[in-house]
Structure 1
């Protein structure tokens, strides 16, 4: 859209939107085509960036994805370098999640060591290019004191602020419920539109969140920034994190997986290497019991799916 329809980009800016994000995912032509993306090379991206800048956007993010089967270190590094050359204010890295996709059978060929290696390559290149992020945080910013995410996501991550999701499959969160709009499973727009036309809330699923599940939800989302804000956790739930999760906090501190930094309990570089395992420590008791009683292969798949679902 940014390359071919610049008038839409200008309209977004005129509406008052001041941050824009572009889902590039990869600049490797073969991988982009294999993923079904309309990618015509770097010239298309450069044109899109020109139109975004000409429209007046000064808060511009590019999304990249890693962890694909057979994704070579060299091509991933090239993607990161080519993206930094486009000079967005922010770059966000997303690990490929296979569950529920048409290529989920490829998940078994992607090891944790491989994923960590690709993440490390990107982190080294981004830091060298002037971008910053705390360990475990997936959005890198080259603007001092700017975390790089939208106001909505920043509030959601740091404070656990409730939010209303609009659109196909969108997620909504209240202090006691979590819901998904129609289309979250089917990916079809028609049922969503029909519900709206009939004056109904277009909700597919809604879940009541017991206290320990609500805590797990806030903590899991907090790990988008690689850290838990201790003051906001206490304000939200009326209890200190250290008092609610004494064994878990003691464990991550003793193993050097997390550390206290100002008002945060923050991942260390070592903790970021064990990201999924650290997050799982703060799951609700029922979820922990379920995972413990799975076999190793099932547990690996279940942990990935639950990390994605809880977040």
Structure 2
């Protein structure tokens, strides 16, 4: 059985105003944290092997180092972590990704990452507008982002994904178009694009609540999303997931495992794991995580995934993709339920039923949350 390994590096030099993920500025704990990640791997070797069988032993297909900002971690720690993955979990991963910030990129840094076996870089650019980068509290500039893409390619890593963001307060369609065109000119193999989210508890949400900024209207956001789809598809990118576009052959293999029911092991504070029948997550506290693992325990909670939960997970993951939701993967009763709920959306052109898969149409993408909500089984 092919499996993904996710490794969470929660350290950030500064916190972006929109971020709701667990992160920390406790850089004095970086080395201890890296050593603890390795200890967790050794603690979970039997769990990993248990995902497979005698006929189909488990093996690592993808490794993803995410955060936080993994590129703030010292290079020796990154190397030790990857060496330990190889020691603890068998396999010959075809995709090894690390998330980076543009201002951390130097020829030496990327060259070392390449020598460690990393073959994919995911870089958070968000926008090429310097004033908006400052608004988000991003540390890099537009010119640094552009230079970073060039440096990564020159170091021999061709598989580059960049993140973009749209829907800023007062942003115009022309301003968004300039970001998209700049991204295309850099020719990354993969582009992820997300609408700016106002998550409760973030500085951005407080600014909105206090009336300092206002969200753009839904019509403007929809126009930006349509422009993104049309322009990237014309430029040769495949729209394979609601927010993700890839050149042929460059879909994110690791992220696709999340959308297509593939087991994965999450290592680190706040990291999640999934093995078909259960979902677990580590404590979101670096100090408590380090203390627990050093005492030989896993600081995690878990839940059992019953048939209905599994179905609902498929609705909210597989249906996001261009491949759609495989109705053969669920029971006849749930298949009947899904088709019954989908009927109205098939008739109104938001869903299509083909090859025993349910898929969102182009029009369905624009109202995907509503469509998926109607298929959820309560």
Q: For 1:229-308, list aligned pairs within 5 A.
A: 229-230=325-326, 233-235=327-329, 237-239=330-332, 242-262=335-355, 264-285=357-378
Residues 219 and 228, structure 1, Cα contact 8 Å, conserved in 2: no
The aligned residue for residue 242 of structure 2 is 137
Cα distance in 2, alignment partners of residues 240 and 12 from structure 1: 49
Max radius of gyration: which structure? 2
**CA separation in 2, counterparts of 1:5 and 1:81?**
25
Q: 2:171·2:216 contact (CA, 8 Å) conserved in 1?
A: no
Which residue number in structure 2 is paired with residue 85 of structure 1?
A: 185
**Cα drift, residue 119 of structure 1:** 0.7
1:12-71 deviations in Å (ceiling 9; x for gaps): 2222222221111111111111111012222x1232112211221121111111233322
Structure 1 pair 80/241, CA: closer, same or farther in 2 (3 Å)? farther
Structure with the higher fraction of residues in strand conformation: 2
Cα–Cα, structure 1 residues 260 and 245, in superposed 2: closer, same or farther, change >3 Å? closer
TM-score by length of 1: 0.78
Residue 99 of structure 1 corresponds to which residue in structure 2?
199
Question: Which of 11, 27, 30 is equivalent to 2:128?
Answer: 27
For 1:238 and 1:192, the matched residues in 2 are separated by 39
Distance 1:147 1:241 in 2: 33
1:212 CA drift (Å): 0.9
Q: Deviations over 1:192-241 (max 9, x none)?
A: 222222222132x43333321121112211133145242xx533x44476
Q: Deviations over 1:143-166 (max 9, x none)?
A: 2xx2521x22223323x1121112
Report Cα offsets for 1:113-135 as digits up to 9, x if no partner. Answer: 3322211121122123222215x
Distance 1:208 1:217 in 2: 13
Instruction: Give the gaps of 5 or more residues in structure 1.
Output: 286-311
Task: Find the aligned partners of 1:177 and 1:251 in 2 and give their Cα distance.
Answer: 33
| Higher RCO, Cα 8 Å, sep 6+ | 2
CA RMSD of aligned residues (A): 2.4
For 1:54, which of 151, 154, 157 is the aligned residue?
154
Q: C-alpha displacement at 1:250, in angstroms?
A: 1.2
Aligned twin of 2:251: 148
Alignment gaps of 5+ in structure 2: 1-70, 72-101
Runs of 4+ displaced beyond 4 Å: none
Identify the match of residue 190 of structure 1 among 280, 287, 292. 287
State the SS of the aligned residue for 2:251: coil
CA distance, structure 2, for counterparts of residue 95 and residue 180 of structure 1:
26
CA contact (8 A) 1:213 1:283 kept: no
**SS in structure 2 opposite 1:148?**
coil
Check 1:189–1:67 CA distance in 2 against 1; reply closer, same or farther (3 A cut).
Answer: farther
In the other structure, the counterpart of 1:157 is: 259
Q: 1:282 offset after TM fit, Å?
A: 2.5
Give 1:268 shift: 1.0
1: CA distance between counterparts of 2:372 and 2:217? 18
TM-score by length of 2: 0.65
Which residue of 1 is the match for residue 321 of structure 2?
A: 225
